[in-house]
């Protein structure tokens, strides 16, 4: 018993020491925490979704979900072949071009009306704070911070490690002008020595005028947050880009709920939407969309074009790696209610060209 307790104490001590690393960020405090407490979404010491959102759905248990995640063996969760990708030179793109480039999972670059945005970048090749524990698929890491031009606005939907990567952010630091994120997330950036004047934190349903004819809105999502033992101390958000000529919905991570239809009613039809379609499971459907729900959400948003993201780079669930794109494509062909946009990593997506088409690149990958 003494030996067991000694080993346990050593392990706990090692974990606590390791968690002092800056990558884990910092919990909101001071004036930032005071502002958080004013949010209608914050009560009992944490942020809440609009509706009750369990981490595991009814009929499932956290113990089983955790056991399956650590010890379970499921077929084809990692591709054998290399994921195809295109190396587009972002620095030479004309600022007059309205384009999007996806980097796999939920990281992408948008250039719109002369402004450059980078959303949830993860270029370190790892979706976990533990080195080498969740490596990216072969072929998906052809982009790095060095490949990025100056970024006018870094948008962070929430602070999970597969969306907010410390190593990537530090490497990008000299190129980032402004950061827009949910309440509390700015504490991480100040801890990482970003100037407070660079950081813009927003609650749901707020707006930021980027120019006379360009507005960035924040909107709800149904998810959660946290980088250590304490969860939901920062706010998760979705974003809406609105100009006189185009409306784009950036969904972040979210389970299905009525916020999609409410956003659709409030803003009208969206020209383009990005929704998470991957790393899902019926056992946690309240916090991630299942493929058929992605199409329902797109319909709620009245989206003319849909880019399904949150797939094809990291294994964070049990499904075959290509199932998200395969399933949503098959379902959309039956319903045919939106244009599905399925670029390879690095392909240039023209935001003003609804006639642009992409092939089913995943079909040739084992």
pLDDT of residue 40: 97
For residues 322 and 77, give the distance between their C-alpha atoms in angstroms, rounded to a whole number: 8
User: What is the 8-class DSSP label of residue 217?
Assistant: E
| Residue keyed to tokens 């809406």 | 240
Instruction: Place 3 in a pLDDT band, splitting at 50, 70 and 90.
Output: confident
Decide if 269 contacts 304 (C-beta within 8 A). yes
pLDDT of residue 5: 67
Decide if 206 contacts 217 (C-beta within 8 A). yes
Distance of CA 327 to the CA centre of its chain: 20
User: 249: closest CA among 264, 234, 235, 262?
Assistant: 264
3-state secondary structure of 41: coil
**24-364 CATH:** 3.60.15.10
pLDDT tens-place string over residues 228-251: 888 999 999 999 999 999 999 999
What residues does 47 pair with on adjacent strands? 42
Q: What are phi and psi of 222, to 5 degrees?
A: -115, 95
User: What is the 8-class DSSP label of residue 277?
Assistant: -
pLDDT > 70 in the chain, percent: 100
For residues 249 and 110, give the distance between their C-alpha atoms in angstroms, rounded to a whole number: 12
**Can you give the pTM of this predicted structure?**
0.96
If you average pLDDT over residues 114-129, what whole number do you get? Answer: 97
Pairing of β 108-112 and β 99-102: antiparallel
What residues does 179 pair with on adjacent strands? 154, 199
pLDDT of residue 71: 82
For residues 282 and 279, give the distance between their C-alpha atoms in angstroms, rounded to a whole number: 11
Instruction: Place 336 in a pLDDT band, splitting at 50, 70 and 90.
Output: confident
| Residue keyed to tokens 């248990």 | 61
Token pair for 260: 């999609």
pLDDT tens-place string over residues 263-318: 999 999 999 999 999 999 999 999 999 999 999 999 999 999 999 999 999 999 99
For residues 326 and 309, give the distance between their C-alpha atoms in angstroms, rounded to a whole number: 13
User: 168: closest CA among 118, 96, 203, 214?
Assistant: 118
pLDDT of residue 17: 85
Decide if 205 contacts 218 (C-beta within 8 A). yes
3-state secondary structure of 66: helix
For residues 10 and 5, give the distance between their C-alpha atoms in angstroms, rounded to a whole number: 9
In the chain, domain spans: 24-364
* Residue 72 in this model has a pLDDT that exceeds 90: no
User: 288: closest CA among 340, 324, 335?
Assistant: 324
For residues 256 and 260, give the distance between their C-alpha atoms in angstroms, rounded to a whole number: 8
Provide the phi-psi class of 59: left if phi over 0, else alpha when psi is between -120 and 50, else beta.
left
If you average pLDDT over residues 97-108, what whole number do you get? Answer: 98
Q: Could you give the maximum distance between any two Cα atoms of the chain, in Å?
A: 70
User: 118: closest CA among 90, 151, 146, 145?
Assistant: 151
């Amino acid at each position: 018993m003494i030996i067991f307790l000694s080993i346990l104490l050593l392990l706990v001590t090692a974990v606590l020491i390791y968690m002092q690393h800056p990558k884990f960020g910092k919990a909101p405090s001071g004036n930032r925490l005071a502002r958080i407490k004013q949010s209608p979404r914050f009560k009992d010491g944490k942020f809440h979704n609009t509706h009750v959102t369990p981490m595991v759905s009814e009929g499932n248990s956290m113990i089983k979900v955790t056991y399956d995640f650590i010890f379970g063996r499921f077929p084809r969760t990692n591709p054998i072949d290399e994921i195809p990708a295109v190396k587009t030179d972002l620095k030479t793109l004309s600022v007059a071009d309205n384009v999007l480039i996806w980097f796999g999972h939920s990281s992408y670059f948008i250039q719109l009306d002369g402004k450059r945005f980078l959303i949830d970048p993860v270029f370190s090749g790892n979706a976990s704070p533990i080195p080498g524990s969740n490596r990216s698929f072969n072929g998906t890491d052809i982009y790095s911070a060095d490949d990025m031009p100056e970024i006018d606005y870094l948008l962070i939907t929430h602070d999970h490690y597969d969306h907010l990567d410390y190593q990537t952010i530090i490497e990008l630091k000299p190129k980032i002008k402004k950061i827009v994120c949910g309440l509390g997330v700015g504490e991480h950036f100040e801890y990482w020595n970003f100037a407070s004047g660079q950081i813009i934190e927003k609650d749901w349903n707020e707006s930021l005028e980027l120019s006379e004819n360009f507005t960035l809105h924040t909107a709800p999502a149904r998810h959660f947050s946290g980088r250590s033992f304490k969860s939901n101390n920062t706010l998760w958000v979705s974003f809406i880009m609105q100009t006189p000529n185009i409306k784009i919905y950036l969904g972040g991570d979210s389970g299905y709920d009525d916020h999609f239809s409410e956003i659709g009613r409030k803003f009208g039809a969206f020209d383009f939407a990005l929704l998470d379609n991957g790393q899902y499971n019926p056992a946690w459907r309240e916090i991630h969309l299942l493929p058929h729900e992605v199409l329902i959400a797109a319909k709620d948003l009245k989206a003319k074009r849909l880019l399904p993201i949150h797939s094809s780079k990291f294994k964070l669930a049990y499904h075959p790696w290509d199932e998200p794109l395969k399933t949503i494509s098959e379902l959309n062909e039956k319903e045919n209610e939106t244009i599905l946009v399925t670029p390879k990593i690095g392909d240039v997506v023209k935001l003003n060209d609804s006639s642009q088409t992409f092939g089913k690149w995943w079909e040739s990958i084992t």
